[in-house]
Amino acid sequence: MQRTPEPELMLDPAQARAYAAADFDAPNAAFVEALLGRFPELDGHLDVIDLGCGPGEILIRLARLRPNWQLLGVDGSAAMLDAGMDAIAESGRESQITLLQALLGDETLPEASAGLVISNSLLHHLRDPAALWRELRRLGAPGAAVFVQDLRRPTDAAQARALVETYAATEPEVLQQDFFASLLAAYTVEEVRAQLADAGLDLAVAETSDRHLQAWGRLP
Ligand SMILES: C[S@@+](CC[C@H](N)C(=O)[O-])C[C@H]1O[C@@H](n2cnc3c(N)ncnc32)[C@H](O)[C@@H]1O
């Protein structure tokens, strides 16, 4: 099935609220478990950047598990960051997590600063996927760890509909539509491998669930 792009930023407050309230427990837990499992050495002080952080649920999970980490979440959508600010205040982790409204490529973001750069579910939003891989290289310090998770594109629309039915049947309609559009906009493992080769990044890529892929490794 050919890729169908979706809008990059999630600017609509209703869409952002529905996303923030949705149950992403399983994929977010899988993200954190795989990240910490693949980089067990990252247990001391660390500056971390999360690109396309949305409402910040992964940042909060990481802050709880790694109290020595300082986390910066970056997103272009004020509506998403509003939801994130509330969640972070509720978590009591304000001293560990900072949120910044910025687009990928924003010159005010701290270059070569992070020991770990992460991203969950941003890649499929991007018309130019190279923008994510460029940004990981620009913001990560030399040798920094990199961990990315995203949806992967099903073989056809029927398979995408079945995934929506399996994982989002009880979510609001706006979220079901969002999930369907995201699956159609997602990249395949083969496409991600080609993107990484173009970007000169030597990262591992694997299918990690019926709807996810992960890419991880170290920057040059
Ligand atoms: C599907 S959400 C994922 C949010 C979060 N990472 C999570 O796992 O819940 C994708 C986020 O990326 C943001 N985004 C999309 N394109 C962006 C860009 N070019 N620069 C910054 N943020 C972007 C959207 O606004 C949205 O909040």
With a 6 Å cutoff on the Cβ, whether 57 touches ligand 1 is yes
With a 6 Å cutoff on the Cβ, whether 75 touches ligand 1 is yes
pLDDT per position as a tens digit, 55-96: 999 999 999 999 999 999 999 999 999 999 999 999 999 999
With a 6 Å cutoff on the Cβ, whether 80 touches ligand 1 is yes
Which whole-number Å values give the CA distances from 137 to 29, 60, 88, 105, in the listed order?
Answer: 25, 24, 27, 11
Cα of 156 from ligand 1 centre, angstroms: 24
Please say whether the beta carbons of 113 and 187 come within 8 A: no
Global pTM reads: 0.97
Ligand 1, from 31, 62, 107, 122: best to mutate by most atoms within 8 Å of Cβ?
Answer: 122
Cα of 100 from ligand 1 centre, angstroms: 12
With a 6 Å cutoff on the Cβ, whether 32 touches ligand 1 is no
Closest ligand 1 atom, residue 50 Cα: 6
Residue with tokens 């173009």: 198
Structure token pair of residue 119: 């991203």
With a 6 Å cutoff on the Cβ, whether 77 touches ligand 1 is yes
Cα of 133 from ligand 1 centre, angstroms: 15
CA angle 201, 155, 9 (to 5 degrees): 60
Pick the range with the lowest mean pLDDT from 143-152, 167-176, 184-193.
167-176
What's the average model confidence in pLDDT over 106-116? 97
In this structure, which residue's CA is closest to atom 4 in ligand 1? 54
The one-letter code for the residue type at 19 is: Y
Domains of the chain: 13-218 (3.40.50.150)
Helix (H, G, I), strand (E, B) or coil at 196: helix
pLDDT per position as a tens digit, 176-198: 999 999 999 999 999 999 999 99
Band (pLDDT 50/70/90 cuts) for residue 18 is confident
Which whole-number Å values give the CA distances from 56 to 13, 50, 104, 112, 200, in the listed order?
Answer: 16, 9, 17, 22, 29
How far apart are alpha carbons 185 and 4 in whole angstroms? 5
Structure token pair of residue 69: 């980490």
